[in-house]
Amino acid sequence: MKIDPNDFQVPQGRSVDLKKWPTRIKPLVKTKQRYQELLATHVSRLSERQRVLYASGRHALLIIFQGMDASGKDGAIRHVMSGVNPQGCQVFSFKQPSAEELRHDFLWRTIRNLPERGQIGIFNRSYYEEVLIAKVHPEILQGQLLPPESLAGKALWEGRYGSITDLESHLYRNGTRILKFFLHLSKEEQKRRFLERLDDGTKNWKLNPADIKERGYWKQYRKAYEQCLAATSTKKAPWFVVPADSKEDARLIISGLIIRALEEIKMGYPVMDAAQRKSLQAMRQRL
């Protein structure tokens, strides 16, 4: 099965209407068993490329997940990254900012956790929250201790988009490759998943009243995402709109695109020079 990135990538400079992007596609596989086999193959290939990334130590990969509540971000990370060596991968989840974080610019709390070369870094939500939830709930800005002149409506958001794309361009120039996944969930499927969490005692903990309240801002979030995706999807740091009504299809798409990104990086295991090979021979003799 081949994943064509053009089916999901947001072209740079294009407007985005999420009503025209599917939340469900024709199933990529016909059976649960075939899905499990294919996902296992993807996980194995991803693990292999991660080892080369770690050994070469020249590049990093930053993977960003965004999406509405219950869109499957946690599950995608857990299943897709299940075979990656924990030494070479870190996951960060960003919730409500702390008092210390509010005293810094909006990028500060996330960029402290950027992956070093040789590593895969995963952001479950990210600095993009500052042009999403903060746009839907502008009262959040009042708690960010910004100077009054910075709260100038449209200029604020355009400035933040610019800061984000500048940061991602800087990271790319310095060896960090970036993949950004928006898990595109329908409102009907979100309702079904919320009800499942209410009905299943082992999943009650996943749901809280705030999730239901935020569901009431569905149209506002959709508009905020449309503006964000259009403003910040670039050739060097593209956004991919992943149909998320099927968790299985979403995981296969995500894993396939991650593998493709890793395979496009020119890297390999370090090659020993003559002196290093001589040292290895000396070690062999001592053994």
Q: What is the CATH number of domain 5-286?
A: 3.40.50.300
Q: What is the pLDDT of residue 40?
A: 96
* 130 CB-near residues (< 8 Å, 6+ apart): 106, 160
**CA quadruple 245, 246, 251, 256: dihedral positive or negative?**
negative
Q: Which of 116, 115, 114, 146 is nearest to 130 (CA)?
A: 146
What are the sequence ranges of the domains in the chain? Answer: 5-286
Q: What is the pLDDT of residue 286?
A: 84
Q: What one-character DSSP code corresponds to residue 183?
A: E
- Per-10-residue mean pLDDT of the chain, 287 residues long, equals 89 96 96 96 96 96 97 96 90 91 94 96 97 94 85 87 98 98 98 95 90 95 98 98 98 97 93 79 83
* 94 CB-near residues (< 8 Å, 6+ apart): 109, 110, 123, 124, 125, 126, 129
* 212 CB-near residues (< 8 Å, 6+ apart): 194
Distances (CA, A) of 238 to 8, 49, 80, 183, 229: 10, 20, 19, 14, 9
Q: What is the pLDDT of residue 147?
A: 87
d(CA 122, CA 101): 19
The amino acid present at 90, given as its one-letter code, is Q
Token representation of residue 153: 């409506």
pTM score above 0.85: yes
